[in-house]
Structure 1
Amino acid sequence: AHVLARQLRAPFVNLKTFPLKTDLVRLLPETPARRFRALVLEERGDTLLVAMSDPLDLFGFDELAKILKRRLAMAVVADSQLAAVFDKHYRRSDEISGLAKALEKDIGDAVDFGALQASVGQEGAPVVRLLQSVFEDATRAGASDVHIEPQEGELLIRNRVDGILQTLTQADKRIAPALAQRLKLMAGLDISEKRLPQDGRFTLRLSDRTLDVRLSTMPSQYGESVVMRLLGQGSALRRLDVIGMPEDMLTRYRELLGRDSGMILVTGPTGSGKTSTLYASLAELDSEKLKIITAEDPIEYRLPGLTQVQVNEKIELSFAKVLRAALRQDPDVILVGEMRDAETAEIGLRAAITGHLLLSTLHTKDTISTPFRLLDMGAPPFMVATSLQAVLAQRLLRGVCKHCAEPHLATPQEQAWVNEVLRLNAEEPAPVKSMAGRGCADCNGTGYQGRRGVYEMLELDPDMALAIQDSDAAAFITAARKSLRGKTLADRSLAMVRDGKTSLAEAVRISVDAE
């Protein structure tokens, strides 16, 4: 390809480093792109730069000009690089768009609920094929959630990948009711109820894996919005030593897990990896020698040797009720998926006082605010002071794509954040060596690949416990800040930036979120 490019005096493009943009790539539909081994690279005024692996295919070049209806300039690429790019940027978008149009023709202007129910076992039904393709695309992309969102003039289908929503396709909004009703049928929900939110779950078998799907519907102005959380059955459980904890923190956290009693809370926003940390914590414990009971909603991993209980609010099987029952089962360790209310918090604190190790999560932004969140929920101060051993706050930072990483000069906003973290004046800025992804085929043009955990751990000492017991927030904050100096989420994030593991933009983003 290099030789051919030189002979034709056409530029040769390395797709592994070229910053491809999905919106430009998708100007050319997937079918002709694969047929003519071609790719749209750039837009230069009214001209499109198109790369082909066979620049001597003049018929193909003319066909591309007809399809794109633009003036074209040619570049050359290695054919061996095209397959990965096609899979990354098109994924199944053409197929999904085609299936959406087929479904639109199939349903016309009204949804036939009887036909939908009859199609439950029919793999060839348009609605079934469309959803199958959506799920397969989501799993291939590593999506954690799928959003089906009716808008004023269209239906958006989006995937959340590495914490960021990416549009998969846009379709006629008339197909939205058919998708919502089909999914509600799969989850055993009431398909006639569109005015109220509903929650359900179902198991989905794809060609190469099985998924547990948590379904949530909500009425909106333009129809029912549907969000699905995808949980892979049999997914490998990550160990504590690979989730990203610094070595000193990991050693101390393991010592805390070895205690006979007390409460350890993991905090952070939804999607910050709290559940993964709790499961990794349980995997550290010897289930053959310990009675371990969990109360979960849902059960995301099935662990041998544990008694795992699925919370079910529909039959009033709440976290609090499971926790009460668990205490009568002679447990050593109890995991409660979430401290949702005052009743659960108080029972959990009592359990931690009376000789049980209790692990749970709480929605707070950092470690320092956690004890007072428990007090705000109505927990007695003396119980919080006595039971709470440690709080682990965490976030997930997107990792810089190793294929297109390059040195990055901090923006004024980023430099101001660095100065604040390092407690420097604006007059004495500290330049920070950092990397950022330019965007390439491997990262779908985002500059990021995968996510890494960043952690802040606050272990309560006698001074902090006394401040909690006295409800003295100022004294607690002073003691906690002294303990955390140099070890906050912001400090740890900056260390990851310096190591080239994440970007300054990501570190600033999660720090703003933690404020």
Structure 2
Amino acid sequence: MLEKILEEAVRLDASDVHLTVGQPPFFRVGGELFQAGAALTVKAVEDFLDVLLSSRLRRELEKHLAVDFSYVAENLSRRFRVNVYYQRKVPALALRLIAKEIPTLDELGAPPALKKFFHAAQGLILVTGRTGSGKSTTLAAFLNELCKVRPCHLLTLEDPIEFEYVAEGSFISQRELGQDFLNFAAAVRTAMREMPDVLLIGEIRDAETMHAALEASAAGVLVLATLHTKSAAETAMRVETMFPLVQRDAIRDLFADEFSAIISQQLVKTSSGRRCAAEVLIANPAARSLIRQGKYVQLPNVMMSGRAQGMQTMDAALKGMREVGN
């Protein structure tokens, strides 16, 4: 039954599938939810878990009542990101379809300014947005193109691995939380011993990982990561407030020195499908100064005056999409 549901998801070009006891399968297509089929029984969902979960993942689910992992449907040649959780004391699943091929930045409608960083020797680039805003896909597109134009050692730390990178001339290592490492911050510090040129941190969730990312940038690595924040100003504030008060002055200085760009994005429904609208803040003396002072509310002024550098506010991004008829 799971195989048929996944086949239907691929046929519909769905982005997500939701499987819950007592309800039919739900598919998200073009941002809208649709249901299909009969309500799922407890046995049906347990059968799904028997297919999806290894003994290690089963133990993790029992311990934490939730688990994230990637799953490859061999018959479909498609990869899914899977979240298993509990609701009303029974398991439920949320599956996200990973694109069969990594799209290009142009196909996504990602900001052209991102391409400026293909040859950056170091710095921290944060791609932010709500869940489902396409952060992982934007980063995958960036890294896929970077590895083609700049042979490098790319090391990724992910939860779970979504896209597989293959680029002639680049040495690529991909590691998954729970299988290849146990803690993001420790994994970043371990990774530095392997001398990567480019480091992807799937998501920065705590102060220790943020500090490790900033240290990696300071050591001469181009670091990319995601945060669940909705604007450049909120992102800069979030970086500071991750840390205790006694550390915040030092963290503002370190972040101001090390950040290269903040890309805050959302997916917008257009006549040609969903497209990426992105706010772009690129590090310059004005942005660094405001971050050192904690004057985050003034960062939009930097973006408005930095259009020649490729910066833009979210309002400007949305206006531009309307003007070209999207």
- TM-score, normalising length: structure 1: 0.55
SS at match of 2:25: strand
Matched, 1:168 2:36: yes
**1:322 positional shift:** 2.1
SS at match of 2:79: strand
Matched, 1:452 2:275: yes
**1:134 positional shift:** 1.2
| Distance in 2 of aligned mates of 1:144 and 1:302 | 18
**1:311 positional shift:** 2.7
Structure 1, gaps ≥5 residues long:
1-129, 401-448, 502-515
For residues 50-84 of structure 1, the C-alpha deviation after alignment (integer angstroms, 9 at most, x for no partner) is: xxxxxxxxxxxxxxxxxxxxxxxxxxxxxxxxxxx
Matched, 1:257 2:118: yes
CA contact (8 A) 1:338 1:360 kept: yes
For residues 490-515 of structure 1, the C-alpha deviation after alignment (integer angstroms, 9 at most, x for no partner) is: 222233223222xxxxxxxxxxxxxx
SS at match of 2:37: strand
| Distance in 1 of aligned mates of 2:140 and 2:180 | 26
CA contact (8 A) 2:71 2:79 kept: yes
Query: Letter of the aligned partner of 2:73 in structure 1?
Result: L
Matched, 1:238 2:91: no
**1:309 positional shift:** 2.6
CA contact (8 A) 1:311 1:322 kept: no
For residues 17-61 of structure 1, the C-alpha deviation after alignment (integer angstroms, 9 at most, x for no partner) is: xxxxxxxxxxxxxxxxxxxxxxxxxxxxxxxxxxxxxxxxxxxxx
Relative contact order (C-alpha < 8 Å, sep 6+): which is higher? 2
**1:184 positional shift:** 1.4
Q: 1:293 aligns with which of 155, 163, 186?
A: 155
**1:342 positional shift:** 0.8
Matched, 1:472 2:268: no
CA contact (8 A) 2:233 2:296 kept: no
| Distance in 1 of aligned mates of 2:89 and 2:210 | 39
Structure 2, gaps ≥5 residues long:
none
Find the counterpart in structure 2 of residue 215 from structure 1.
82
**1:198 positional shift:** 3.9
Find the counterpart in structure 2 of residue 495 from structure 1.
320
For these two proteins, the number of residue pairs brought into alignment is 310
**1:225 positional shift:** 2.3
SS at match of 1:147: strand
Pairs within 5 Å for 1:98-137: 130-137=1-8
Matched, 1:204 2:73: yes
CA contact (8 A) 1:195 1:219 kept: no
Identity %: 30
Quick one: structure 1 residues 261 and 194, their matched pair in 2 at CA, closer, same or farther if it must change by over 3 Å?
closer
Matched, 1:334 2:199: yes
CA contact (8 A) 1:267 1:394 kept: yes
Q: 1:323 aligns with which of 150, 173, 188?
A: 188
For residues 257-309 of structure 1, the C-alpha deviation after alignment (integer angstroms, 9 at most, x for no partner) is: 32211111111111111111111111232466322211122222211234233
CA contact (8 A) 1:163 1:271 kept: no
SS at match of 1:254: helix
**1:476 positional shift:** 4.6
Matched, 1:376 2:241: yes
Matched, 1:155 2:20: no
Find the counterpart in structure 1 of residue 127 from structure 2.
266
